[in-house]
């Protein structure tokens, strides 16, 4: 056999280079796996609780729903959107109800205001969640469309609406409380 550099065989000379190349490939693959493992994996599914009332009760009860998101804010927004949508037919059959106004209540409230010559404080026919954002101090800002106030008032109803919204937000450890706004304003909203 021929001798290589400094008295070693060619096979022996190739060995360290092959080993070095294999090590570089292994380290590169390991680095990629670590990057993939640490990278944002995108949206995931999570079970959240949406809080509704039960027939003849004033306490809110959790109803599990599955949502998709990438952050606590996404999950909180999705839970609030489900709250706005109201209970499903199955949940209604099981005795759950919401005190947030549904399209029928919004329409009836508009008609009663018009019958007395008053303009309703909104133009739409369904409640919408307009904006959700994180605020300082673990506070979540939730801005609803003006249809949130489409009800005939009453302290019990106002308290139930607030309890449903607060309970739905406070399930997330990232948020201590919620700041409820209607059309961007906190002034005079959700008054009995």
Cross-strand bridge partners of residue 50: 63
pLDDT band, very low/low/confident/very high, at 113 (cuts 50, 70, 90): confident
Q: Give pLDDT, residue 152.
A: 67
Q: Name which of 90, 96, 93, 105 is nearest 50 in CA terms.
A: 96
Tokens 């796996």, residue?
33
Domain boundaries, the chain: 5-38, 44-182
Q: Give pLDDT, residue 41.
A: 66
Whole-model pTM: value is 0.75
Give yes or no for a contact between 110 and 150, defined as CB atoms under 8 angstroms apart. Answer: yes
Q: Give pLDDT, residue 135.
A: 95
pLDDT band, very low/low/confident/very high, at 19 (cuts 50, 70, 90): very low
Q: Name which of 14, 184, 54, 157 is nearest 99 in CA terms.
A: 157
């Amino acid at each position: 056999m021929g001798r290589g550099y400094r008295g070693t065989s060619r096979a022996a000379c190739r060995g360290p280079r092959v080993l070095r190349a294999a090590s570089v490939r292994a380290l590169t693959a390991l680095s990629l796996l670590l990057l993939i493992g640490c990278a944002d994996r995108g949206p995931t599914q999570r079970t959240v609780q949406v809080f509704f009332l039960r027939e003849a009760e004033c306490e809110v009860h959790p109803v599990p729903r599955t949502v998709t998101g990438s952050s606590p804010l996404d999950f909180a927004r999705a839970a609030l959107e489900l709250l706005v949508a109201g209970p499903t037919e199955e949940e209604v059959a099981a005795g759950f109800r919401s005190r947030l106004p549904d399209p029928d209540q919004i329409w009836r409230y508009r008609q009663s205001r018009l019958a007395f010559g008053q303009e309703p404080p909104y133009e739409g026919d369904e409640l919408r969640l307009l904006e959700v954002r994180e605020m300082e101090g673990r506070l979540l800002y939730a801005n609803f469309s003006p249809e949130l106030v489409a009800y005939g008032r009453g302290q019990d109803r106002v308290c139930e609406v607030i309890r449903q919204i607060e309970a739905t937000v406070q399930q997330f450890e990232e948020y201590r409380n919620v700041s409820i706004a209607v059309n961007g304003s906190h002034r005079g909203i959700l008054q009995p």
